[in-house]
Structure 1
Amino acid sequence: MKISSALVKAIDDLIEKNNDAYNGFLKAKEKAKSMDLRTYLRSQADRRKDFAAKLAAEQKEMDSDEQSFEEGSVKGKIHRSWISFRSNFDDDKAILEECIRGDKACIKEYKNVWKEHRDMPPNLTAVLSKQVAEIEQTQNTIKTLEDL
């Protein structure tokens, strides 16, 4: 099934957002003091890398000639710099707050794709649903960790 160039761009943006999250979680892991938190952040980085790869595979299956697999956006690099800056002065709680902020932006972008592309293939809808549910669960877990 051939997909529109607008949907290709939206999927590219989600791939980029997940690559940003991957790089952000790795940066947060480097700065975290707790070994348990470091392990958790690494696992979340790996999940986001998997999300990006799955989206790229879905895009390829949909007969798109316009696919890309970006390393991350400028906004993502700025966010990772902010995590680095805050972690120099704060503790693990500050890192978790930045992870929550990043996840909120990611969830918003996923939901915008649904709103703007209601005609997307069902298999892509299923992938997006699963990924956003996992991101929401991650956000809830991070909020719990932050409270501890």
Structure 2
Amino acid sequence: MTYNEEVSKKLNDLLTRNYDAAAGYGLASEKVRSRELKHFFTLQEQERYKFGHELKKEISYYGETPDDGTSWQGDTHHAWMNIKSTLLSNNEEVILEEVVRGERTAVKEYNSIIMETTLPPSTKNMIAAHRNNILNALTRVYTEIEIAS
């Protein structure tokens, strides 16, 4: 596998993760009653969609083809989130906990790629900015969980 293919594969993994997160946030915004949470989830959905576009551009820069669509795991997670929230009367705390679980996984994936020493600084900086925004969102979700408790 060439360097460009290897980097693009890692970026495509993040791209799929962001498709999954955007879909998850869209579902979460439909399930909560709180206007504040709906707004927050909608903003996060848009931000993750923006991350996806940035990653697509970066993948194309490496001469590779960006992936399309969500992952099977993401689709399964969203289905589970839908079933779980429906069974629990769309309990906002449960939805927030599912968001935390997904975002923790995203941060781990971003950190893993950031640790890759062969990435050019521009790519590493973009990925670090995404990760930092996800960490900020995660902090906000933790705050919402404390409020809901």
User: TM range, normalised to the smaller chain?
Assistant: over 0.9
* Aligned partner (choices 64, 67, 81) of residue 65 of structure 2: 67
Structure 1 unaligned regions, length at least 5: none
- Alpha-carbon distance, 1:69 to partner: 3.5
- Alpha-carbon distance, 1:114 to partner: 2.3
AA aligned to 2:143 is T
On the 8 A contact 2:21/2:102 being kept in 1, the answer is yes
SS of the equivalent of 1:106 reads: helix
Residue 28 in structure 1 maps to residue 19 in structure 2: no
On the 8 A contact 2:28/2:95 being kept in 1, the answer is yes
Of the structure 1 ranges 135-144 and 81-90, higher mean CA displacement relative to structure 2 is found in: 81-90
Residue 124 in structure 1 maps to residue 123 in structure 2: yes
State the TM-score, normalized to the length of structure 1: 0.92
Paired with 1:3 and 1:145, the residues of 2 have a C-alpha distance of 42
AA aligned to 1:82 is W
* Aligned partner (choices 55, 78, 81) of residue 80 of structure 1: 78
- Alpha-carbon distance, 1:85 to partner: 1.1
Paired with 2:133 and 2:114, the residues of 1 have a C-alpha distance of 16
On the 8 A contact 2:20/2:71 being kept in 1, the answer is yes
- Alpha-carbon distance, 1:129 to partner: 0.7
AA aligned to 1:43 is L
RMSD: 1.3
- Alpha-carbon distance, 1:67 to partner: 2.0
Correspondences of 1:1-148 after superposition (within 5 Å): 3-61=3-61, 63-64=62-63, 66-90=64-88, 91-115=91-115, 117-148=116-147
Paired with 2:79 and 2:33, the residues of 1 have a C-alpha distance of 18
Which stretches of structure 1, 4 residues or longer, exceed 3 Å deviation after superposition? none
Paired with 2:68 and 2:141, the residues of 1 have a C-alpha distance of 26
Paired with 1:140 and 1:89, the residues of 2 have a C-alpha distance of 27
Paired with 2:81 and 2:45, the residues of 1 have a C-alpha distance of 15
SS of the equivalent of 1:67 reads: coil
Q: Which has the higher contact order (CA 8 A, sep 6+)?
A: 1
- Alpha-carbon distance, 1:3 to partner: 4.4
SS of the equivalent of 1:22 reads: helix
Paired with 1:33 and 1:147, the residues of 2 have a C-alpha distance of 17
> How many aligned residue pairs are there?
144
Identity of aligned residues (%): 25
